[in-house]
Amino acid sequence: MQNHGYSNFSNNFIEISGDSSQVNKDVDIFFQFRTALPDTIHTKFVTGEVKVYTDYFKEQVVDSLSADTINMLQFYRQSSSFLVKPSLLSNSIFFKQGSLLRRDDRQKTFRKLNSLGTYRFVTVNARVDKDRDSIMNFEILLTPFQKKWIFDGSLEGYFSTLGAARLFGFSVSSQFVNRNFLGGSEKYTLRAEAGTEVGYARETGFVQRTTNLSLQNNLNIPSFQDFIGLGRLANRSGIIRDKFYKNFVEEASTNIGLGFSALNIINFYSLSTFNASFGFDYTSPKGNRYVFKPLGFNLDLYSIKDTTRFEQNPLILLSFKDILGTGFVFRDFSYIYTKTKDRKGNSMLAINNLEVSGWEVHLTNLLYNAISGSDREWVLDDKREIAFAKYIRYEFDGRYNKEYTKTTSFASRLNFGIIVPFGNNPSAPFIRQFGVGGPNSLRAWNIKEPGPEDIGIRWQN
């Protein structure tokens, strides 16, 4: 009822009764709608004036504000220019003057405005019009953060014991965040991190084991920017239903990423990675999250320090080849299901991730060879032997929690995955393979140390 204009209607106004006195053993169900007061009716509301205060603060003098009317919305601002583009704010408000009042539109408006990182507080006030009791007027108060830029830094360290050896790890990181980068509440993040690990043993003393360095840029645009038209194509072909697509377009954000990382495991191998991605992030009203990256590229460049370790199994050595991971239409998709704690104390989180690399290149290569009569496999660089990574990777991470008392609970976790190379690639890239161990996993082992060693696979020329 609240989605049909009856804003003040609630379950208390519904009385349900039944009559089971029928001979044929049927039960008649009766729904009786009551009014708040005798001789009254439930009012059906229509949206009236919508006033938006774009830089609101307490005890603000309304008469001193500049006023503009855009898309039937009245904007009031203290500053000489709009802090956030009014077109973005207009697209974030889903109830317009003259439209039937709907609860879903109010909730969607509140969620969307709260997702804009420029504003610290969002308040939506509804008031019945003084002259017409079927008109509901709104005031939207947007209180921005005082500072546009944020900086934070951290210093981390850990210590672990592996047999007679000891491992010390240190890392330092910093992050710059701009809450309103281009004037449309875009969030720009620049993060840098550097770290090292030092091992100690009586025989060798302190020896540096690893070093790592990373730099990542990310731009979050609080709107759906479908430059390549994949969303419309999926909707028209029936892959995405109309209702889901409508909510996705209205509430999804767009993410653009660009970064570099370097890892050096001394006396073993080093890895330099360049990455770029374009995708979308959407959280449904039920709290389930969808992260889709149609475009994504990863250039992984390896340098092996000691190849004698792979003499018994050359297949593993092939996973250290320089590769370019690609996705032109589909690169990565994650579905995160969240079940909040119920009355019995049960809560659950399930993370599903599907990643595909090189399938567009592979199909195009096959089509070209079929037309030209060639059997050549495309590579990025013949001289440096940089090939296209071709694999399908799926991972599931499930977590269940049962709370018995405020101090007692049961927690469990299930994590598994599978990665399959295709085409002429005999092995999946090492960096995308699964592994456990290290300070953030099974701490009794080094990173990727547990697992099969000689599993009987041999590479033959």
Residue 411 forms part of a structural domain:
yes
Please give the pLDDT value at position 448.
63
Same domain? For 12 and 83 the reply is no
Residue 90 forms part of a structural domain:
yes
Residue 218 forms part of a structural domain:
no
Please give the pLDDT value at position 22.
66
Same domain? For 25 and 104 the reply is no
Please give the pLDDT value at position 286.
86
| Helix and strand counts by DSSP (H, E) for the chain | 6, 21
Cα-based torsion angle of the residue sequence 391, 275, 417, 398 in order, rounded to the nearest 10 degrees: -150
Please give the pLDDT value at position 459.
47
Please give the pLDDT value at position 304.
87
Residue 334 forms part of a structural domain:
yes
Same domain? For 240 and 340 the reply is yes
Angle, helix 103-114 to helix 242-251, in steps of 10 degrees: 40
Same domain? For 121 and 253 the reply is no
Please give the pLDDT value at position 450.
63
Q: What are phi and psi of 150, to 5 degrees?
A: -125, 140
What is the domain extent for residue 18?
A: 2-33
Amino acid (1-letter code) at residue 162: L
Same domain? For 27 and 50 the reply is no
- Of 144, 167, 194, the position where a domain reaches its end is 144
Contact indicator for 231, 240 with CB cutoff of 8 Å: yes
Write the DSSP assignment of 49-90 as a string of letters: EEEEETT--TT--GGGSEEEEETTEEEEESSSS-SS-HHHHH
Same domain? For 139 and 249 the reply is no
Residue 7 DSSP SS3? coil
Residue 135 forms part of a structural domain:
yes
Residue 195 forms part of a structural domain:
no
- Report residue 364 CA to chain centroid gap: 30
CATH number at residue 132: 3.10.20.310
Same domain? For 27 and 89 the reply is no
Contact indicator for 208, 166 with CB cutoff of 8 Å: no
Gap between the Cα atoms of 278 and 113, Å rounded: 23
Same domain? For 92 and 60 the reply is yes
**CA within 13 Å, CB half, 289:** 13
Expressed in angstroms, the distance from the first to the final Cα of the chain is 72
Residue 6 forms part of a structural domain:
yes
Same domain? For 7 and 118 the reply is no
Q: Based on the structure, what is the number of domains in the chain?
A: 3
Contact indicator for 292, 315 with CB cutoff of 8 Å: no
Same domain? For 322 and 401 the reply is yes
Q: What are phi and psi of 372, to 5 degrees?
A: -90, -15
- Of 116, 144, 172, the position where a domain reaches its end is 144
Residue 443 forms part of a structural domain:
no
Gap between the Cα atoms of 276 and 293, Å rounded: 11
* Block mean pLDDT (10 aa), the chain, length 461: 70 75 74 68 83 90 88 90 91 87 87 91 90 88 91 87 74 94 93 91 81 96 87 85 89 95 89 95 91 95 83 79 92 94 92 95 94 89 85 95 92 91 88 73 63 48 45
Distances (CA, A) of 396 to 65, 336, 355, 416, 432: 53, 10, 12, 6, 15
CB atoms within 10 A of CB 369: 14
Sheet containing 119-128: order of strands: 66-70, 73-77, 46-53, 135-144, 119-128
Same domain? For 16 and 113 the reply is no
Q: What are phi and psi of 95, to 5 degrees?
A: -115, 130
Contact indicator for 84, 180 with CB cutoff of 8 Å: yes
Task: Report the DSSP pairing between strands 66-70 and 46-53.
Answer: unpaired
Same domain? For 120 and 250 the reply is no
